[in-house]
């Protein structure tokens, strides 16, 4: 599959659909250990992105990713707005001015996204955040890209690893974000940020298939 | 969910329209992005004092916009921090050439969005400083947490710094003053019931009839411990003692005591709690020089109370007493 601006836009539409479908689940997960706005906020942001893509799709993959970044930053709010916004902004910068992305570029973009999230949120693996899903996803993506896999294979591996990474947050005690105020009581709950990261990567993989 | 609303998605904008009409003499409300601005902004050569956060804490922050307090407030969605473009718009609209001070409550989302906004404003050539308030003693600071939350003390900070800016204190002075207040103010709250965020449609957490949540933040997020509800003579010390121990406040200190309703607790209970707190402070030889009692930092319809103590000195006392004219605080003007 050629990963063009149009296909990146299609993948982001797929993400928006998945976020809308799982809005209530994310709200519920966040209500258990946070304040219950994660699903609502992400849904607002991706719906805004879809309406922008409906009016026109930017010319390059990088420009599409940058549009996603600015839209999420200006509409999502909460911690998720700057974190996902930064992730997309770093990914946009990473892919540079090319018309078609290959597997290595996609893996590198994921790594840049992770670096951006870590720089902004200052969280590390084990803090019970989206970093717990994104970090293994990047490792898996890079290993598939390095062994000659295609874009679909890279995203598939990333999505699977993110899914497992998200599940690994259940027993953890949160050390970042609002859930950290619960201390020990945050254990036993799936982290909503890790869950949304896994959903997002799953939707990207589905679109690339 | 029973609420006087139409659509959960438009609650904030709908409320802002009413607020603009109710306080047309004091406020100029913009909608895209949403910013509540004092009617005479920008004030030339005055430091712009700006705050914001999720909606649902009314009158915080929009109710404190006006002469002697905030130049602008950025209302986010309910319980969700504002976005960077809202904050950047507030800075652009109120900058009188003396720079802007952003007052940020220590919540991850607020800090991240204001941080991003400060970068945007700096890129536009405005001198912007950020002060983070973290007065909530319920959440201990440690290497492993995001730090303590910013809660009721925010109102006192906004009043004092707003008064200084109105007097012409420069940005360095306002920033230093703000950090000094942050170092002298402490709070703690409790919840008897949860609140319901409109777009969530059901209560944020569940408490039994005989339970309360001790150490709540202002978003309805659960606190540190769930304990049985007792009489007010037990509730008030449960809030006051951790506050007193934390700074610590000791005999001879002069303080401002702020007794706050989380929205659903009526004034009869609030005055009752305030009376107990004053008696306990008097017993310890702490001098209550000023009081603020009422629903000023709320969590929608949540029943609950928070207590905030600010250690005063002559300068802070004078700035607290300075004239203020906003929808929610008004004296001397």
**A112-117 CB contacts, 8 Å cutoff, 24+ apart:** A113/A87, A113/A88, A114/A87, A114/A138, A115/A90, A116/A86, A116/A87, A116/A89, A116/A90, A116/A91, A117/A83, A117/A86, A117/A87
Would you state the pLDDT for residue B145? 52
Out of A76, A81, A180, name the one closest to residue B145 (CB).
A180
Q: At what angle do helices A5-21 and A38-55 cross, to 10 degrees?
A: 150
Would you state the pLDDT for residue B299? 96
How far from B14 is each of A70, A205, B3, B5, B83, CA to CA, in Å? 25, 39, 13, 9, 18
Query: Looking at the predicted complex, does its ipTM rise above 0.95?
Result: no
List the 77-116 stretch of A: residues with Cβ below 8 A of B: 77-83, 85
Which residues are CB-contacts of B51 (< 8 A; sequence separation ≥ 6)? B61, B64, B70, B73, B74, B102, B103, B104, B154, B158
CA-CA distance, B332 to B319, in Å (whole number)?
Answer: 12
Q: Could you tell me where the beta strands, DSSP code E, fall in chain B?
A: 27-31, 34-38, 48-55, 72-78, 100-105, 128-133, 185-191, 211-214, 225-228, 254-261, 287-294, 304-311, 324-325, 330-331
Q: What is the pLDDT of residues B318-331, one digit of tens each?
A: 999 999 999 999 99
The C-alpha angle B65, B296, B213, rounded to 5 degrees, equals 140
Would you state the pLDDT for residue B143? 44
Q: Which of the residue ranges B91-100, B224-233, B274-283 would you say has the lowest mean pLDDT?
A: B224-233
CA-CA distance, B121 to A127, in Å (whole number)?
Answer: 31
B145 chain-A contacts, CB cut-off 8 A: 175, 180-181
Would you state the pLDDT for residue A114? 98
Would you state the pLDDT for residue B200? 83
Average pLDDT, chain B: 94
Average pLDDT, chain A: 95
Q: What's the half-sphere exposure (Cβ side, CA atoms, 13 Å) at B279?
A: 10
Would you state the pLDDT for residue A2? 76
Closest by CA to A107, choosing from A72, A73, A69, A134, is A134
Would you state the pLDDT for residue B142? 46
Would you state the pLDDT for residue B141? 54
- Is B23 annotated as catalytic? no
Q: Which of B23, B57, B61, B274 is catalytic?
A: B57
Query: Is the model's pLDDT at B28 over the cut of 80?
Result: yes
Would you state the pLDDT for residue B219? 78
Query: Strand order in B254-261's β-sheet?
Result: B225-228, B211-214, B185-191, B304-311, B254-261, B287-294
Confidence of residue B240 (pLDDT cuts 50, 70, 90): very high
Instruction: Please give the model's pTM, rounded to 2 decimal places.
Output: 0.90
Which residue, among A26, A42, A80, A181, would best test binding to B if mutated, counting the most B CBs under 10 Å from its CB?
A181
Would you state the pLDDT for residue A31? 86
Confidence of residue B286 (pLDDT cuts 50, 70, 90): very high
Out of A37, A74, A177, name the one closest to residue B80 (CB).
A37
Closest by CA to B216, choosing from A177, A35, A121, A12, is A35
Would you state the pLDDT for residue B206? 84
Structural domains in chain B? 9-184 (3.40.50.10440), 185-321 (3.30.1180.20)
Please list the residues that pair with A3 across neighbouring strands: A101
Query: Is the model's pLDDT at B23 over the cut of 80?
Result: yes
Which residues are CB-contacts of B294 (< 8 A; sequence separation ≥ 6)? B260, B261, B267, B270
Would you state the pLDDT for residue B140? 67
A181 chain-B contacts, CB cut-off 8 A: 138-139, 145-146, 149, 217, 221-224
Q: What is the pLDDT of residues A92-146, one digit of tens each?
A: 999 999 999 999 999 999 999 999 999 999 899 999 999 999 999 999 999 999 9
Are the C-beta atoms of residues A149 and A157 closer than 8 Å to each other?
yes
How far from B126 is each of B168, B224, B238, CA to CA, in Å? 18, 40, 44
User: Do the Cβ atoms of A81 and B149 come within 8 Å?
Assistant: no
Q: What's the half-sphere exposure (Cβ side, CA atoms, 13 Å) at A32?
A: 16
CA-CA distance, B14 to B158, in Å (whole number)?
Answer: 25
Are the C-beta atoms of residues A190 and A39 closer than 8 Å to each other?
no
Would you state the pLDDT for residue B217? 85
Please list the residues that pair with B311 across neighbouring strands: B255
Q: What is the largest CA-CA distance in chain A?
A: 48
Q: What is the pLDDT of residues A76-89, one digit of tens each?
A: 998 999 999 999 99
Are the C-beta atoms of residues A37 and A27 closer than 8 Å to each other?
yes
Confidence of residue B105 (pLDDT cuts 50, 70, 90): very high
The residue ranges of every structural domain in chain A are 3-208
Out of B115, B146, B204, name the one closest to residue A36 (CB).
B204
- Domain A3-208 classified CATH 1.25.40.340? yes
Q: Which two tokens stand for residue A83?
A: 């974190």
Query: Is the model's pLDDT at B31 over the cut of 90?
Result: yes
Across the range B298-316, mean pLDDT stands at 97
Would you state the pLDDT for residue B121? 84
Q: What is the pLDDT of residues A13-39, one digit of tens each?
A: 999 999 999 999 999 999 888 878 899
Closest by CA to A208, choosing from A158, A161, A151, A157, is A151
CA-CA distance, B118 to B132, in Å (whole number)?
Answer: 13
Are the C-beta atoms of residues B149 and B217 closer than 8 Å to each other?
yes
Q: Which residue of A has its CA nearest to B219?
A: A35
Percent of chain B with pLDDT over 70: 96
- Is B199 annotated as catalytic? no
**What is the DSSP secondary structure assignment for residue B211, as one 8-state letter?**
E
Would you state the pLDDT for residue B4? 96
Q: Which two tokens stand for residue A205?
A: 């993989």
User: Do the Cβ atoms of B224 and A74 come within 8 Å?
Assistant: no
Would you state the pLDDT for residue B222? 65
Cis ω before B205 (30° cut-off from 0): no
Out of B77, B113, B139, name the one closest to residue A181 (CB).
B139
Are the C-beta atoms of residues B129 and B177 closer than 8 Å to each other?
no
Q: What is the pLDDT of residues B136-195, one digit of tens each?
A: 998 765 444 567 899 999 999 999 999 999 999 999 999 999 999 999 999 999 999 999
Q: Phi first, then psi: give them for residue B294, nearest 5 degrees.
A: 155, 180
């Amino acid at each position: 599959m050629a990963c063009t601006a149009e296909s990146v836009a299609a993948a982001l539409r797929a993400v928006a659909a998945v976020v809308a479908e799982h809005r209530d689940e994310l709200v519920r997960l966040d209500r258990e250990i946070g304040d219950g706005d994660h699903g609502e906020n992400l849904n607002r942001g991706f719906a805004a992105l879809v309406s922008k893509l409906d009016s026109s799709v930017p010319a390059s993959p990088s420009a599409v990713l940058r549009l996603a970044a600015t839209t999420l930053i200006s509409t999502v709010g909460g911690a998720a707005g700057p974190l996902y916004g930064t992730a997309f902004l770093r990914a946009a910068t990473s892919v540079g001015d090319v018309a078609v992305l290959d597997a290595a570029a996609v893996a590198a973009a994921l790594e840049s996204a992770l670096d951006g999230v870590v720089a902004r949120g200052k969280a590390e693996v084990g803090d019970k955040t989206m970093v717990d899903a994104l970090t293994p996803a990047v490792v898996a993506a890079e290993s598939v890209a390095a062994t000659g896999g295609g874009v679909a294979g890279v995203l598939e591996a990333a999505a699977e690893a993110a899914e497992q990474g998200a599940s690994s947050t259940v027993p953890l005690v949160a050390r970042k974000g609002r859930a950290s105020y619960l201390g020990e009581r945050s254990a036993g709950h799936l982290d909503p940020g890790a869950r949304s990261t896994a959903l997002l990567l799953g939707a990207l993989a589905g679109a690339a298939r | 969910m029973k609420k006087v609303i139409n659509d959960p998605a438009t609650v904030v904008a709908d409320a802002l329209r009413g607020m603009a009409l109710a306080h047309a003499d004091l406020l100029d409300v913009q909608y895209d992005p949403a910013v509540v601005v004092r009617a005479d902004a920008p004030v030339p050569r005055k430091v712009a004092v700006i705050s914001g956060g999720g909606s649902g804490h009314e009158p915080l922050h929009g109710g404190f916009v006006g002469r002697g307090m905030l130049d602008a407030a950025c209302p986010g969605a309910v319980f969700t921090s504002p976005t960077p473009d809202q904050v950047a718009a507030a800075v652009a609209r109120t900058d009188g050439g003396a720079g802007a001070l952003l007052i940020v409550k220590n919540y991850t989302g607020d800090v991240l969005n204001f941080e991003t906004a400060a970068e945007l404003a700096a890129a536009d050539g405005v001198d912007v400083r950020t002060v983070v308030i973290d007065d909530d003693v319920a959440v201990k600071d440690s290497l492993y947490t995001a730090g303590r939350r910013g809660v009721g003390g925010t109102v006192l900070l906004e009043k004092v710094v707003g008064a200084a800016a109105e007097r012409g204190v420069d940005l360095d002075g306002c920033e230093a003053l703000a950090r000094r207040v942050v170092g002298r103010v402490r709070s703690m709250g409790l919840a008897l019931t949860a609140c319901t965020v409109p777009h969530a449609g059901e209560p944020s957490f569940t408490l039994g009839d005989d339970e309360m949540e001790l150490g709540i933040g202002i978003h309805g997020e659960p606190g540190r411990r769930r304990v049985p509800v007792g009489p007010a003579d037990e509730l008030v010390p449960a809030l006051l003692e951790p506050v007193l121990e934390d700074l610590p406040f000791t005999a001879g200190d002069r303080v401002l005591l702020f007794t706050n309703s989380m929205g659903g607790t009526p004034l009869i209970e609030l005055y009752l709690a305030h009376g107990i707190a004053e008696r306990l402070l008097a017993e310890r030889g702490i001098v209550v020089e000023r009081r603020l009692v009422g629903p000023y930092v709320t969590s929608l319809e949540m029943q609950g109370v928070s207590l905030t103590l600010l250690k005063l000195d002559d300068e802070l006392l004078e700035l607290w007493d300075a004239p203020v004219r906003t929808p929610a605080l008004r004296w001397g003007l």
